[in-house]
Amino acid sequence: MRRTRFRTTPVYAASLLAGLFASAIAVAQPAGSGDAATGQSAQSVALKLDPRLGEERAAIGEGRPVFGRGERLSGRTGRETTLEGDAEVRRAGTVIRADRLTYYEADDEVMAVGAVRVARQGNVFTGPQLLLKLDANEGWFETPTYYLGRYGGRGQAERMDFLGPDLTRLHRATYTTCEPDNPDWLLTSDTLTIDEASGDGTGRSASLYFKGLKILGAPVFAFPLSDERRSGFLVPSLSINSRSGGEVVVPYYWNIAPNRDFTFHPGVSARRGVRLGGEFRYLEPTYFGGIGFDVNPSDPKTGSTRFFYDVHNTFTNWSGWGGNWLVRGVSDDDYFVDYSRSILSSSERVLPRVFNASRSLGGDWSTLVSVQTWQAILDARPGPYERVPQVQLRNVQRDVRGFDVDTLLDATRFGAPRPGLVEGWRLVANPQFSYPIVRPGWSIVPKVSLHATSYQLTDPGATSSSSSRVVPTWSIDAGMVFERAAHLLGRDVTQTLEPRLFYVRTPYRDQSRIPVFDTTVADFNFAQLFSENTFIGNDRIADVDQLTAAAISRVIDPSSGAERLRFAVGQRLYFSGQRVAIPGMPPRTDERSDVLLAAAGEFGGGMSFDTGLQYSVRDGGIPRFSALWRYLPPDGRILNLGLRYRRDELGQLDTSWRWPVAPRWVMLGRLNYSFLGNGVDPISQVPNERGVIEAVLGVEYSSCCWGTSFVLQRFRTAQGQSTTAFFLQLELKGLARIGSDPFGILRRNIPGYRLPHDRPELPSRYFGYE
C-alpha cells in the first residue's frame, strides 16, 4: 500500500532569502597541516565503496587546500599575507576575488578590498569591502549586491554581519527576480537574521512593492530555512462568488509532529458571515487518514448552523486486516448548492458512511467485511439500500490441473432507505470453473458457473418472506490474433486483426417475486458485450442464449510498440427472447443488438481522437454517439473538442482551450453546453436543462518575473440554480502567489493543462562553477 509523506507549500520568499545569504559566504579556510594517510605504505592503502560519498560530502572544505593567485605577493612571515592585482583565493567550490586580499594569521582574519566578489554554487555576492574571521565566522560585508543564479533572484543590502558559525544578519535587504534596472516587484526588509543552527529565519519591517505600490507589509515575520514544515500563518486567500459574495480566508498551519498536522482556515464572507474550517491529518506505519470540517455557526440565509464533515482512514496489517472507513455528511440538502466551489462538489447527492475490512485467511481464501450506509439529499432521496452488514468469502485457485476456480460466498443484510420498503438478508453462492486454452495467436476459454441465491425478508409485504433460486450459466470465449507488416502514411507499421466470439447460455428462472436491492440494467458498451449477465448485481440473473461477435484492428509502431490507431466493431445475436426483467423496465425482445463502433488514434504533433457510436439495427438511428479530438503540442497550446449524445437523455457540446492571443497573453476557458433538456447528466448528476452547464473564461499574463491569472467560472448547482465565481491571482515568480487559486479549476476543466512549477528544479551544485 502506498503512503504519501506530508509536504506543505513552502513560503517561497523565506526559502530564497535564507540559506542562500548564509551559505554563499562559506569562504576559504587554511588547509589542514597533515594527512592521516601520510605515514602509510602504498601496500596498506585500499579503496572501498562509501555509500555516503556524493556532492554534499564533496563540498566539505575541511582538510582541503587553498589556492591563491595575484599579480603581486607580499607579507611578513607568521603575521600577514597580501595578494594584490586581480587577487583570487579559492577553496572547495568557493571563490573570492578582490583588488587586494590580506590574510592576518594571528587573528585568522581575511580583509578583501576593492571590487570584492564571492562566488559559490552559482550565487554571486559583490561589494567594496569584506572583513571575515574565518574560524569564528565573524565579520561584515559592506553594501553587498547578490545574484542567486539557481533561482534567478537578485538584491542588495546596506550591510551584512557575520555573527558566528551559523548566524548572519542583513540590514535593509532587498530581493527580486526582475531585471535590476527597474524591477516590477521588490521585497524589502529592515533586518533579516539567518540562524542555520535552529533552521529559522526572522525579519522585521518587511514590505512588498508591485509596480511601485506597496501591497503587503509585516512588522515581524519568520520562516524556515528548508522544506521542513513549520507552524505559522499561510498566505491569505480572497475569493468572490455569487452565493457567498467576497470571502477572505486566513489559514493557520500547526505542525503538531512529523507525522501529524492541522490546518485551521477561518474565514468571513459578505453574505454568509463567519465560517470555521479545518483539516487534521495523520500518518502512522499501519494507518493514515484525516478529519475535515467546515462550520458556519449562523448562516444569515437560514438562521441556523450549517456544516460539512469528512472523516477518512486507511489501515493495513491490523492483525492481518486491511481496509478503510469514510464518513461524510452535511447539515441540510442545500449545503453543497450554497457552499460548493465546483460543479463536482455541488453535484454530490449521496454521501457515504462506509467501513471495509479484508484479510487473507491463508491459502487461497480471503474475506471481506463491510458496512455501508448513506445520507441522500435533494433528488437522490430515498437513496440506495444500506448494507448492514455484508460478509464475503472468496476462494481463487489458478491452474488446478488446467482449471481456474473462483468461488464467491456472500451474506448481506439490506436495510431499507425509508420505512415501508422491503428489507432482509440475501445469501449468495457463486462457484465458477473455467479451462483456459491459450496458445500463440489464439485462445479458447470454456466456463461454467452456478448462481445460488436465498432471501430471508423481514418486511415482505406482497413478496414472499423466503425465496431462493439456482441458475446455471455456461459460456465459451474464443479469439484469434493476426498481424502483418504494413505501410501507412510513409511509415512502416504492424497491423493486427483480432476477431473474437463469445457465446453464453443461461436458462430461465422465475425471479419476479424476488426483491431488487442493488441491481440495475448494465450499460451497453464493449466491456458489457463480453459479460454473462446483462444486469449488474445479484438480484437478477438474465436468461440469455446469445452470441457476441467482435473484431479489433490495431496499427502499432514496431520500433516503440506504441499503438497509433485502433478500430473496433461488435454486435450480439440473440437466439431467444429475454423474460427476466426489473420491475418497471420491459425485457428485451430484439433478435439482434445495436452495433457498436469505436475508433481512436494519434496523428502526431499532439493531435489525437477517440470516437464511439451505437447504431440501431431496428430503426436505423444512432442512440449514442461520442467524439473527442485533442490538440496538445509541446509548446503548451491546448484545444479539446467533444460531443456526447444519448437519445432522449443527453446532448452536450464540450470544448476547452488554452491559446496565445498576443505576446505574453494567453486566453483559456471551457464551454459545456447542453442542447437537450431531458434526463440527468451521468457525470455531474445535475438534471439536464438546455443551456450552459459550466463555463470558464480566463486570461493569463506572464512576464520575466511576474504573472497574473484572471478566471471567471459559472456552473450549475441544481435545477434552475447556478453559481458564479471569480478568481484573480498575482504570481511574483520566485516569491509567492497572492489571491485566489484558479489552478484547480483550470486543471479540472481543461484536460492537458499543466500547472506552473511551485519552485524551480535545482541543478547540480556545480552549476555556475567558476
Task: State the pLDDT at residue 53.
Answer: 42
Q: Please give the C-alpha separations between residue 450 and each of 412, 429, 541, 548, in angstroms, as whole numbers.
A: 19, 8, 11, 21
- DSSP secondary structure string for all residues of 584-596: TSPPP--SBPPEE
Q: How far apart are CA 631 and CA 103, in angstroms?
A: 64
Look-up of cell digits 440538502: 333
CA 359 to chain centre: 29
What are the pLDDT digits (tens) for 21-55?
Answer: 333 333 333 333 334 333 333 333 344 444 444 44
Which of 242-256, 455-469, 535-549 is predicted least confidently?
455-469
- pLDDT higher than 50, residue 359: yes
Beta-carbon count within 10 A of 672 CB: 23
Task: State the pLDDT at residue 342.
Answer: 66
Task: State the pLDDT at residue 399.
Answer: 93
Which of 21-30, 273-282, 660-669 is predicted least confidently?
21-30
Mean pLDDT of 364-390: 92
616: amino acid identity, one letter? S
544 forms beta bridges with: 506
3-class SS of residue 199: coil
Mean pLDDT of 107-118: 89
- DSSP secondary structure string for all residues of 506-547: E-----TTS--SS-EEPP-SHHHHT-S-SEESSS----EEEE
Mean pLDDT of 369-396: 92
Which of 1-10, 103-112, 306-315 is predicted least confidently?
1-10
Beta-carbon count within 10 A of 464 CB: 12
**pLDDT confidence band for 453 (50 / 70 / 90):** very high
Mean pLDDT of 402-416: 96
Task: State the pLDDT at residue 604.
Answer: 83
**pLDDT confidence band for 502 (50 / 70 / 90):** very high
DSSP 649: T
Phi-psi region of 645 (alpha: psi -120 to 50; beta: other; left: phi over 0): beta
Task: State the pLDDT at residue 344.
Answer: 63
Q: How far apart are CA 503 and CA 474, in angstroms?
A: 8
Look-up of cell digits 483539516: 279
Mean pLDDT of 397-418: 95
Q: When comparing pLDDT for 276 and 180, which is higher?
A: 276
Average of per-residue pLDDT values in the chain = 84
**Taking the model in full, what pTM does it have?**
0.77
- pLDDT higher than 90, residue 11: no
**pLDDT confidence band for 93 (50 / 70 / 90):** low
Which of 261-275, 332-346, 579-593, 737-751 is predicted least confidently?
332-346
Query: Would you state the cell numbers that stand for residue 224, as one nine-digit string?
Result: 524556515
What are the pLDDT digits (tens) for 260-277?
Answer: 999 999 999 988 899 999
- Most confident by average pLDDT, 46-60, 233-247, 378-392, 748-762: 378-392
All residues at 6 or more sequence positions from 390 whose CB lies less than 8 Å from its CB, including other chains: 368, 369, 370, 371, 372, 410, 411, 412, 413
CB contact burial 131-157 (16+ within 10 A = b; e otherwise): bbebeebbbbbeebebbbbbbbbbbbb
DSSP 767: T
What are the pLDDT digits (tens) for 69-85?
Answer: 899 989 888 788 899 99
Q: How far apart are CA 363 and CA 109, in angstroms?
A: 74
Task: State the pLDDT at residue 24.
Answer: 39
Q: How far apart are CA 145 and CA 459, in angstroms?
A: 83
Determine what percent of the chain is predicted with pLDDT higher than 70. 85
